[in-house]
Structure 1
Amino acid sequence: MRPTLPAATVLAAAALAALPAAATAAPVVTTVDGPSADVRVGGGIDLAPDGTGILAYTKAVGGTDHVFVSRRAGGTWSAPVQLSAGTGAAAAVSEPKVAAFGTGGAVVAWRVGPGDGLLRAAVSPAAGQPFTTKDVVPLNVVRAFDLDAASDGSAYITFTQGANPNVRAAHLASPAGDWSLVGGGTAIDPSGILDRTAAEEAAGPGGQTESDVAAYPGGAVMTWTETDMGSFDVLARRLTGTTAGPVTELSVPTLDGRPRATLSDMTDVAATADGTAHVAFRELFTYGATDRPRVLVRRIAPDGTVAAPQVADGLPADPPEGAEFPSIAISPDGAQGLVASPRQLTFATFASRLEAGSWLTGTRADTGTPTAASTPVAAVGASGFGAVAWKDTPAGQDPVAMVASGTGATLGAPETLSVPGAGPVVSNDTETLTAAAQQDGSTAVLFAQGAPATRRIVLAQIPTTVVPPATTPTPTPGTPAPGTGPGNAPAPVRTTFGRTPRITLPATVVRRTGGRLRVTVRNREPFTVRATVLLRVRRGGRARDLVAPARLMLRAAATRSVTVRARGALARRVLRRGARVTLRVTVRAPRGTARTLARTVRVR
């Protein structure tokens, strides 16, 4: 989740394909609520693998700020409804955060009251089911918090509290259960303090606190910054229910021979389905007489092993400036990921991609000359497609929301997401925008736009799909639908992700020397699939495999060849030029649906 950000100007959004990808259709931009003087700021958005989702924002009712939510089911967003209750300053809400379970259910958490408030959460077990609201921390002590949920229906909240802040966590075992503090007790009992050293502050420079959490089925990994004799360290713990694992320090003493400059902070964490965590953070190193921040990523295996740090900011070994405010997203299988970060001095936004376990050199995502920090957010779907969202601040102009699409590390020209003529895009207290991705990488970005008297909540949906131009009309970016509520938006073009994937097989298999053959397979889907290739022949009334199975990943709309090797004397005799054999390809989509195709092909 996102590190805490300073008060900033605001956002823009850009889609970056985490893999060489299918095209992204034109974004569908909708006004969720407003324009109205009662609309406040955007809160959060999350999309589950099953296509359900939730978004939240704040809006005043009778002078009191409240949480409003909209839920996604069947490809449609519902009209917003009020979730919180009460009147007066003591009931005013701030910083709503959301998480989708993947069962149609969702959880929403927010802080109540001025200053350090109490922490409240509402849980819905399934699509169409009402929310039940309960206090997670019934004391006015919570400063910063984060929320995440897993597909098994569990959820975790991490939070900091107190003038000399400590970090704690709460666990929800199931949507029908109650919140329990990790370590037991109440929010003031020492047993629940998760700091490395309880006497030290769980805070960064200036006392700014942060805690981040990423949940997976069976547990979660939390991160935070803690002071230690004048330095600031990035720390992590694994949580299993209400049990906390040991503290792991992620800060490093040197980078490429450059010494650390006593500061590491701005954490963000993402987790895969098996519990592998990827933590991105900022750490300063000394280059001559100058301390410059770098963005590092460390992987924490399920057994607690911590991999060596990798640089994910695209800067050279002796950088002319630094990078900060990283945002990280990882696909559920851990094969693909994105880290987005802005430059410290030029404010340019860069995105680094995870491929084969390594973070590639960052590529610039924005254009022009921004005038303020871009505070980007990353999102990646199960297919590996993803997005990076950021603010754009052209000189002399209102901050605007943008989107840019591309393949691999190459981005095309940005497109505008902001509603034309509706004013500047604005931020809330802790972050500029939020973004989430579906299985196929289709991305949704939520933000607020407009002057206080005419503010609106805007939802931009960016489908990742191949759009047939002759039959599919292109929506006009930035045009609000009549009325309010995401349900009024034109339906975006989407793939039917649960269907059996479609592929095309060759009519021939090309023979090579040494018993090797070349098989070509084409993926006709706009998402990544995995294929297993076999060549068979019938002998003695049964099927005989002629080659060792070959496995390959086929990206969206891609054609790929794979080399298979003859297995045994029979295969070498059969696989001669002109021979006819059965080619079998089993292909699986990320959601698990599969099909097997077989056809007779000729070896040439």
Structure 2
Amino acid sequence: MRRLLTLTATVVAGLSLPTAAHANFFLGDPIDASGAVTAIGDLDLARDGTGAVAYLKSDGGVDHVFVARFDGGRFAAAERIDGGLAGPSSQPVIGAADNGRLMVAFVNGGVVHGVVRPAGAGFSAPVPIAGGVAPSADLSINGTGYASFTSAGDVRVARLDRRANTFTLLPQPIDVDPAREAGVGTARSKVSTSADGVGVVTWGEAGHVYARKMFNTGVSNAPQDLTPPAFEGRATTVSDLPDLDAEDDSSYAWVVWRQSFADGGTRILARRQRGTGFEDPVALDAGDEPADDPRIDLNGRGVGLAAMAGRGSRQPMAAVLERDAFGKGTRIAGPSVVGPAAVPVIGENNEGLIASVVAGGGQTPVVRVRPFSEGNSRPEVVVSRPELGPVEPAGGFDAASDRASGVVMTWLQGAPGGYQLVAGYFDRAPLSFTGFTSSRCCRPAAPRLSWQPAFDLWGAVRYQVLVDGTMVGETTDTRFQLPRPLTGPTHTWQVRAIDVRGQQKRSRARLLRIDDLRPRQAIRYRRKGRNVTVSVRGRDVDRKGHRASGVSSVVVSWGDRSKGSRGRSQVRARHRYRRSGTYPLEIITRDKAGNEAVSRRTVRIG
């Protein structure tokens, strides 16, 4: 995951409001209230809605790395993952893939360590990768990942194969010229991994921003210098603070960075990777003041959001990426006395948001969110709450999205020495679903109902079954047997799906046509010696206030393990018993609703 912000803000009250995307904001709640949390490291969600946050927490007076996994719409209790390392740890970053697979990188004792959690298993012990600082990590949807970091003035990369749980350090530095200093300070690296397992890394070197691809454990022999000699007639100087994200197709990615100019100004520039080269740079900011702190997030098809902030106004700015082109940067929220702090996230359904920390003059800072849907911005929402105490600005701020644009945002709140790790949510309600049980005539008086599962990535949905507007039961299955028979020929039924946060979605009401009367059967029986002759005629009852579905079958079982006799509405059959004995003769007439009339008698032979 690539988005981490260190802020200067205090966060106050928020609201939980619905949006046009049938999702709701939920105010921040503590996920670690121990009072020992010192900093957020990184947060990531996989497309299936699983993920984790990695953070630092004092354990015995020493900072160590803890990870709280996100599954089923909730965070689990945190686990310390740097066990066995006595000294303090720092700079944890994390990547998430489907089914709970995680990769974590962090620094301990000047060495970058790696930890893996395979899908369905526990965390591995930390393994040293190489000496270094400032790690970045990203895991593809298929479980292959890369971690980049700075080591002795060079940018190094380690690979995690999707079929393995160990890191392999690439043999050569990523730098264009290993003799030059690279990846130091604001030139730190960022890495992204495409669906096919190809990685791309960006970093600063000698005042320029570069990008380079990784294939398995090899690197491209064509690193790209992204810094232009000039932009819109202004001579460029230093390029730094690069960020990037890649599409599912490894031929395409976007890199954003801060570009300084000889006249003292800065702008946020972006270039699109296409194959092995990059297209011409474009500006993302509003253009009326220097800008800092660029961030970018893409979905798998290349629709994206970029965020940045004005240097003087500290006002967040947004740029929308559609059809491989960025729109003009626009200001969101308002001028702020804190920041810059803005994190963009977007899902596979082209819905996303930019979360930021802002505060006007004389106002208390808040965590403010601007949703976007299909490139159009929606009203802003505040998601922080004051009763948890002030936000710790230096504690970090991050956000991440799943494929359905469910978003988690994390920050610290509380007094020094007692910080809580807090998470706010943008949670999509269960999506539309339909009943399966047919509305055609007819069902029995106590039918078994079935329906389509309601789509919800964040946890198991429970279903309440309503008949004629009254709840008759609840289940987590998509089938339900009515506990009591219904009376009358016609009813309506529907199902109410409820997610882990109480959001609801009802299916459309469907008719339930009931045949609540058993069919009748007229039987003639005759035995002569070992031979038995049976004549059966079934008929459905047609009575006022009831519905007749019609007879569907008549079945005669002779009771001696021989093949029975069967007819649609009547049967006339003769059977010879081969041995003496006592046999259970059973005759069943069944109607189309499943109601049965059963007749049993004992046949004695010999």
Q: Which residue of 1 aligns with 2:383?
A: 417
Match of 1:399 in 2: 365
Residue of structure 2 equivalent to 1:373:
339
Residue equivalent to 2:349: 383
TM-score by length of structure 1 reads 0.67
CA contact (8 A) 1:321 1:345 kept: yes
* Residue-by-residue CA offset, 1:576-604 (whole Å, 9 max, x unaligned): xxxxxxxxxxxxxxxxxxxxxxxxxxxxx
Change (3 A) 1:222 1:142: same
After the TM superposition, which of the residue ranges 407-416 and 320-329 deviates more from structure 2? Answer: 407-416
Partner of 2:204: 225
* 2:264 is the counterpart of 1:291: yes
Counterpart AA for 2:200: V
Which residue pairs with 1:452 in the alignment? 416
Q: Which moved more, 1:101-110 or 1:272-281?
A: 101-110
- Is 1:103 aligned with 2:99? yes
TM-fit CA distance, 1:195: 1.0
The C-alpha deviation readout for 1:470-528, integer Å capped at 9, x for no partner, is xxxxxxxxxxxxxxxxxxx96264999xx9xx9xxxxxxxxxxxxxxxxxxxxxxxxxx
1:150 and 2:140 matched: yes
Deviation at 1:356, TM superposition (A): 1.7
Deviations 1:120-155 (CA, angstroms, capped at 9, x unpaired): 12111113x1011232425xx312110001122211
Alpha-carbon distance between aligned partners in 2 of 1:370 and 1:362, rounded to the nearest angstrom = 17
Further displaced range: 449-458 or 68-77? 68-77
The correspondence for 2:314, drawn from 326, 335, 347, is: 347
**Change in 2 beyond 3 A, CA 1:215/1:388:** same
Q: Give the alignment partner of residue 199 of structure 1, picking from 153, 161, 179.
A: 179
| Structure 1 match to 2:190 | 212
Conservation of the 8 A alpha-carbon contact between 1:14 and 1:387: no
Structure 1 segment 354-369 matched on structure 2, within 5 A: 354-367=321-334, 369=335
For 2:239, the equivalent position in structure 1 comes to 264
CA shift, 1:461, in A, is 0.8
Q: 1:516 maps to which residue?
A: none
1:20-59 equivalences in 2 (<5 Å)? 22-34=21-33, 36=35, 38-59=36-57
* 1:363 Cα deviation after fit: 2.2
Q: Distance in 2 between matches of 1:361 and 1:465?
A: 32
Contact 2:352–2:373 (CA<8 Å) still a contact in 1?
no
Higher relative contact order (CA 8 A, sep 6+): 1
One-letter amino acid of the counterpart of residue 109, structure 1:
A
In the alignment, the residues of structure 2 paired with residue 154 and residue 494 of structure 1 have an alpha-carbon distance, to the nearest angstrom, of: 36
The residue number in structure 1 matching 2:297 is 329
Higher-strand-fraction structure: 2
The superposition leaves residues 277-326 of structure 1 with CA deviations (integer Å, 9 ceiling, x where unpaired) of 1101111234xxx321111111112x3121111211132xxxx4111211
For 2:162, the equivalent position in structure 1 comes to 174
- Once the two structures are TM-superposed, the CA of residue 86 in structure 1 deviates from its matched residue by 4.1
Residues 80/35 of structure 1: CA separation in 2 closer, same or farther (3 Å cut): closer
- 2:81 counterpart residue number: 83
1:122 aligns with 2:115: yes
8 Å Cα contact 1:123/1:175 also seen in 2:
no
Match of 1:471? none
- Corresponding letter in the other structure for 2:501: A
Contact 2:44 2:96 in 1 (8 A): yes
Counterpart of 1:382 in 2: which secondary structure? coil
Q: For 1:228-277, what per-residue CA distance to the aligned partner results, in whole angstroms no more than 9, with x for missing partners?
A: xxxx10001100111011311011112222222x1111100101111111
Give secondary structure in 2 for the equivalent of 1:366. coil
Amino acid at match of 1:122: V
Aligned to 1:482: none
| Aligned partners of 1:264 and 1:281 also within 8 Å | yes
Query: Partners of 2:240 and 2:314 in 1: how far apart?
Result: 19
Counterpart-to-counterpart distance in 1, 2:299 and 2:12 = 23
SS in 1 for 2:403: coil
1:313/1:350 contact within 8 Å kept: yes
> 1:245 & 1:12 partners in 2: Cα distance?
47
Native 8 Å contact 1:298 1:308 kept in 2: yes
Which SS does the other structure have where 2:93 is aligned? strand
Q: Contact (CA 8 Å) 2:4, 2:42: kept in 1 or not? A: no
Distance in 1 between residues matched to 2:326 and 2:315, nearest whole Å: 19
Match for 2:156: what amino acid? R
CA–CA distance in 2 between the matches of 1:6 and 1:31?
19
Instruction: Report the alpha carbon displacement of residue 56 of structure 1 after superposing the two structures with TM.
Output: 1.8
Count of residue correspondences: 436
Cα 1:299/1:321, change in 2 over 3 Å: same
Q: Offset at 1:24?
A: 3.9
In the superposition, relative to structure 1, how do residues 108 and 3 fare at CA in structure 2: closer, same or farther (>3 Å)?
closer
Compared with structure 1, are the counterparts of its residues 83 and 351 closer, same or farther at alpha carbon in structure 2 (3 Å cutoff)?
same
Listed one character per residue, the Cα deviations across residues 75-132 of structure 1 (whole Å, up to 9, x for unaligned) are: 33322222222475x2x1112111112232111221113xxx21112111113x1011
Question: SS of 1:324's equivalent?
Answer: strand
> Secondary structure of 1:69's match?
strand
Task: Indicate yes or no: 2:65 matched with 1:93.
Answer: no
Q: Does 1:462 align with 2:426?
A: yes
Q: SS in structure 2 opposite 1:25?
A: strand
The answer to whether the Cα contact below 8 Å between 1:297 and 1:310 also exists between their aligned partners in 2 is yes
Which structure has the bigger radius of gyration? Answer: 2
**Percent of residue pairs identical:** 29
Contact 1:28/1:492 (<8 A) preserved? no
**Per-residue deviation at 1:177?**
3.5
In the alignment, the residues of structure 2 paired with residue 219 and residue 495 of structure 1 have an alpha-carbon distance, to the nearest angstrom, of 40
Q: Gaps (5+ residues) in structure 2?
A: 433-498, 509-606
Output the CA distance in 2 between the equivalents of 1:256 and 1:445: 37
The whole-number CA distance in structure 2 between the counterparts of 1:10 and 1:340 is 20
SS of aligned partner of 2:417: helix
